[in-house]
Amino acid sequence: MRILILGADGYLGWPTAMYFAANGHEVLAVDNYLRRRLARETMSEALLEAPNLQRRAEIFQSLSGHHVDVEILDCTDYRRLSQLFEQFKPEAAIHYAEQPAAPYGMLKWSEASLTLNNNLNATLNLIWAVMEHAPECRIVKLGTMGEYGTPNIDIEEGWLEVEHKGRKQKFLYPRQTGSLYHTTKILDTDLLWFYVRTFGIAVTDLMQGPVYGITTPEADLDDALLPNFHYDDIFGTVLNRFLVQAVAGIPLTVYGKGEQSRGFLDIRDTIRCVELSVLSPAEPGQLRIMNQFTETFSMNKLANRVQRVGNGMGLNVSIDHIDNPRKEPEDHYYNPAHTALLDLGLDPHYLTDEGVATMLEKVLEYRDRIDRTRILPRVRWKQGLSS
C-alpha cells in the first residue's frame, strides 16, 4: 500500500515509517521538525541525538535495503499538503503530526495557541486533502485516552448509548480532559466525526495511553535509528522518565499521591495497532474509535516496578512523591474497555521485569547524556505559567 505518515520524525512516527517499509509498503514520511524546534526552545532535547529524517532514511536503507521517502513539509500549509496528496495518492494516511506534550500547551498563551492551531489545522487539512485528492484513503488518527479523563464510570471505546426520557441514542463518549493538548485531541475527534457523518470519509481514531520503550526490531539495526527518547518534564512520558531517573540516581518523580492510573503500552504495540487499523480499515462513513493500551498501572505501581528491577541491577533507586504540577485526580476509579484491537489481532508485549531491565540497560549506555536539570517539573498547571 501507499502509506503516508504525517509527523514521521516523532517518537512514534519514525519507527512506524521503518516498520511499514520493512513490511513491503511504499512509505512517504512527512514532517517539519516542529517537535525538535520546540524541544530546543524549551531545553528539552531527547536523550539520543537523532539524525535528520533524510539521514535516518539513508542509514535505514543501507542496513535493511528498505526505502522510506522523506518530504519536509508543514501540515498546516494546505497548499503543499494537498499537492502532496495529489501526487502521492495515499491509500492510508497515519496522522501523528501534532504537538504531543500536555505540559508544553500549559506554558503560556503562545504555546497554547501553537498547540491549538497546529493540531486542529493539521487535522482539518488532512481531512480536506483526502476529500479533494484521495477519497478512498483511510485515515488513522492518533487520539489519546486522556480525551476521556478519569470519569467515575466505566470508559467505553469511543461511544456511549444514552437513554433519556424513554428514548435512546449513541453519542461520542463524554470527554473532559486535564490539559489544553488533550482538549485539542477532543476537538480533533469532533472535527473528524463531523466530516465522517457529513461527507462519508473513513476514519479510525486511536485513543492511546502513555507509550514506553526505546527499541523496535528496525530501530535495533543501529542506534541512529532509535526513536526520539524524551525524559524531560515536558516531552517525556512517565515510564520513560522513571527509567532515566533510575539510571541517573535521581529519586523517581511520582506526582502527588501517585494513585492516578493510566493505560500503558509498549512502542512496538503502538505500531502494530496502527498497522491493524490500516489493514482492517474503517468503512466509509464510519468513525471507528479504539482504545489503544494493553494494561493499566498507577504511578505508584510503575515506580515500584522500576525501583525493584533497578535495585536488582545494582542501581540505587528511590521514590519521591513530589507536589503535583498538574491539576488531576490523584486517586480515582479507572476501568476503560480495550478489546477492539485485541479482536483485530493485537498480541500485546506486556510490561515484564525483563522488559524493564532491557530498557534500563539501553538507557545506561547513554547515562552520560542525561541532563539532570530537565527532570523536575518546570511547568505548573495552577499558575498556568512556567516556574
Q: Please provide the size of the chain in residues.
A: 387
Gap between the Cα atoms of 130 and 173, Å rounded:
26
Between the CA of residue 181 and those of 42, 146, 251, 287, what are the distances in Å?
16, 9, 27, 21
Which of residues 3, 225, 299, 346 is near ligand USQ by CB under 6 A? 299
Binding mask 81-100 for ligand USQ (x = CB under 6 A): -------------------x
Interface with ligand USQ: number of residues (CB under 6 A): 21
Contact 375, 241 (CB under 8 A): yes
Closer of 84 and 274 to ligand USQ (Cβ): 274
Q: Is 333 a catalytic residue?
A: no
**Residue 210 touching ligand USQ (CB under 6 A):** yes
Question: Among 114-122, 248-256, 305-313, 349-357, which window interacts with ligand USQ (CB under 6 A)?
Answer: 248-256
> Can 148 be counted among the known catalytic residues?
no
Which of 247, 252, 142, 116 shows the shortest CA–CA distance to 203? 142
Using CA atoms of 369, 373, 376, 379 in order, give the dihedral in degrees to the nearest 10.
-110
Residue 319's nearest CA partner among 307, 309, 331, 330 is 307
- Cα 282 from Cα 288, distance rounded (Å): 6
For ligand USQ, the closer of residues 126 and 134 by Cβ is 126
Contact stretch for ligand USQ (CB under 6 A) within 43-51, 186-194, 237-245, 271-279: 237-245
Q: CB count, 10 Å around CB of 384? A: 14
**Catalytic residue at 185?**
yes
Report which residue's Cβ sits closest to ligand USQ.
Answer: 146
Contact 34, 99 (CB under 8 A): yes
Dihedral sign for Cα atoms in the order 357, 249, 268, 46: negative
Select 30 or 211, whichever has its Cβ closest to ligand USQ: 211
Q: CB-wise, 323 or 368, nearer to ligand USQ? A: 323
Where do we find the cell 502494530?
Answer: 272
Binds ligand USQ (CB under 6 A): choice among 6, 254, 319, 346:
254
Residue 111 touching ligand USQ (CB under 6 A): no
Among 101, 112, 140, 203, contact with ligand USQ (rule: CB under 6 A): 101
Alpha helices, H only, the chain: 13-22, 34-41, 53-64, 78-88, 102-105, 109-133, 180-199, 238-248, 267-279, 299-312, 340-344, 353-365
Pick out residues in 255-274 that bind ligand USQ (CB under 6 A): 255, 260, 262
Contact between 326 and ligand USQ by CB under 6 A: the answer reads: yes
- Give the nearest distance from C-beta 31 to ligand USQ in angstroms: 16
Which residues are tagged catalytic?
A: 144, 181, 185
Binding residues for ligand USQ (CB under 6 A): 100-102, 144-146, 182, 208-210, 237-238, 241, 253-255, 260, 262, 299, 326, 328
